[in-house]
Amino acid sequence: MGALRKFLAWVSVPVICLFALVLYLARPFNPDNNRFLGTAVARVGRAFLGMKRPLEGWENVPTDRPTVVLANHQHNDDLFVMGDLLPPRTVTVGKSALMWIPFFGQVFWLGGNVILNRARSHKAIAVMQATSEAIARDRKSLWVFPEGTRSQGRGLQKFKKGAFHAAVGSGAPITLVCARQYQDKTLGWSGQREPVPVRILPPIETAGMTTADIPELMARCHKLMAETIADL
């Protein structure tokens, strides 16, 4: 049953994206499209998986100003765990390979999301710095997995600098979204997924910081996120 649930959850993603493509074509590059799609994919996916997602700290998400959201990245299933937690006007960051996924890649591009080439790290930082201007100018929020790759539930990995350049360059606060470590485990004969609790921490202000402050800011965010994940 667990394998069937997972199959249905992932089959639902391109189906939802196909229907969402109509909305994206009607208002291309509108960042609120991403919030609509993320909510639909996450909630339908969790329903198929039978997964509960206890949530703490939703009130900590800024809704009246842009923010840079940092979340820990464990599995592809993070889409179902956290996809409905995007603040208003949020764009996300993904690798260029996502563009080749049928329907999902097209709506990802039409959502105005940031597409990075992981093999060109210096260019990636430049893109993130340019994104900081969009945050300040267009009042967009940014969702980033700062580890850059999936941890497979083996603990928080080292952070990359790009998201912190974007936050400091725009003066936007950083919001940490922390999901408990989880594996592809099911409960009982029904194949329901084990619950994955998530906690959102109060924003960390970056106003007045410079690039010289980034190493300390990275270390502080990593420590806070690691402690929260361990507590969950």
Q: Among candidates 116, 117, 99, 100, which has minimal Cα distance to 108?
A: 99
Q: Position 6: which residue type?
A: K
Rounded to 10 degrees, the C-alpha dihedral 180/141/123/158 comes to: -20
- Provide block-wise average pLDDT over 10 residues at a time, the chain (232 residues): 93 94 91 93 97 97 94 95 95 81 88 72 62 79 90 88 90 96 88 96 96 96 97 94
Q: What is the pLDDT of residue 128?
A: 66
Q: Which distant-in-sequence residues (6+ apart) come within 8 Å of 9 by Cβ?
A: 44, 45, 46, 48, 49, 77, 80
**pLDDT of 93:** 78
Q: Measured between alpha carbons, how far is 202 from 192 in angstroms, rounded to an integer?
A: 31
Residue 152 confidence (pLDDT): 84
Residue 129 pLDDT: 65
Q: Which residue has the tokens 């997995």?
A: 145
> What tokens were used for 90?
């949020």
| Stated pTM of the model | 0.91
CATH architecture, range 2-183+194-231 = 3-Layer(aba) Sandwich (3.40)
Evaluate whether 41 touches 13 at the Cβ level (below 8 Å): yes
What's the CA gap between 192 and 185, in Å, rounded?
Answer: 8
pLDDT of residue 162: 85
